[in-house]
Amino acid sequence: MLTFTQNIVIFFSTTICSMFFVALLNRLWPREKRIAHNDLIGWQLGILGTTYAVILGFMLYTVWTNFGDANLNTDLESNSLRNVYRLAAGLPPQQRAELEQECHEYVDAVINSDFPAMAQSQIPEESHIINRAMWKTLMSVKAATPSELVAEDHAISELSSLTEHRRTRLFQSTYRLPHIFWWVLLVGGLVTIASASLFGSANPALHAIQVFFFTIFITLILLAIADVNLPFRGWVHVSNYAFIRAKQTMSD
């Protein structure tokens, strides 16, 4: 989990380190001597750059897809909650009052407990307890009319969806890229930038600028992957806005 300040610190640290490495390399291995090896360094850099670009693109696409899925699942969970609340109107008076109250408690628990807990890498329990109470309420319904029977049937279906989406949300809040992938990304980035620094150029200032821009590009992509990889934590995260809207809808 990275905050905005941590992103800025990492960004400037990597760019400064790359410039320091270029300056140190020019002192230890002068660029005039490296020019003779440009044919070897060039094809190596081409292969490394292409391979690493494919890896970066794939990883960024993967985490962004997972982020979108987490955002969509949150919307679906809030929609299921609204549907359960609406269907409660067709139940017998006692179960109707209990289920409507539990829907209000559920949305409050998600907003005030679940999202803060997931932001701290914790598994929330309060909404789970309320979810079980909602099931208990629905299972106690004794439908006396066809309309109550239909309302109960649809409410059970929507509550099943709600439970499933909640379970998925908790799984998504704990998911992260395996460590081996991060090793590939970090080592690949270091090797690629180092290879670009080895290239011998007749214009040292232009070469330093190229390495600088190269480092900025790679660092920004890695920071984007790190932020989006944790959909409910960090600077970039899934918002609880869907549940805030659900709470407003149920209060109208």
Sequence spans of domains, the chain = 4-251
Residue 201 near residue 207 (C-beta atoms within 8 A): yes
Q: What is the DSSP string of 100-132?
A: HHHHHHHHHHIIIIIHHHHHTT----HHHHHHH
Residue type, 63: V
% of the chain at pLDDT higher than 90? 62
Q: Is the pLDDT of residue 2 over 80?
A: no
Q: Is pLDDT at 99 greater than 70 in this prediction?
A: yes
Distances (CA, A) of 5 to 12, 187, 223: 11, 24, 12
More confident residue, 175 or 234: 175
pLDDT of residue 172: 92
For residues 74 and 169, the answer to whether their CB atoms sit within 8 Å is yes
pLDDT in tens, 15-50: 999 999 988 888 888 777 777 766 767 777 788 888
N- to C-terminal Cα distance for the chain? 37
* Whole-number pLDDT of residue 165: 96
Instruction: Give the mean model confidence (pLDDT) for residues 112-135.
Output: 93
Instruction: Give the model confidence (pLDDT) of 204-249 as tens digits.
Output: 888 888 899 999 999 999 999 998 988 998 778 899 999 999 999 9
Backbone angles phi, psi at 191, to 5 degrees: -65, -40
Alpha-carbon dihedral 231, 235, 240, 242, rounded to 10 degrees:
-80
pTM score of the predicted model: 0.84
Backbone angles phi, psi at 68, to 5 degrees: -65, -40
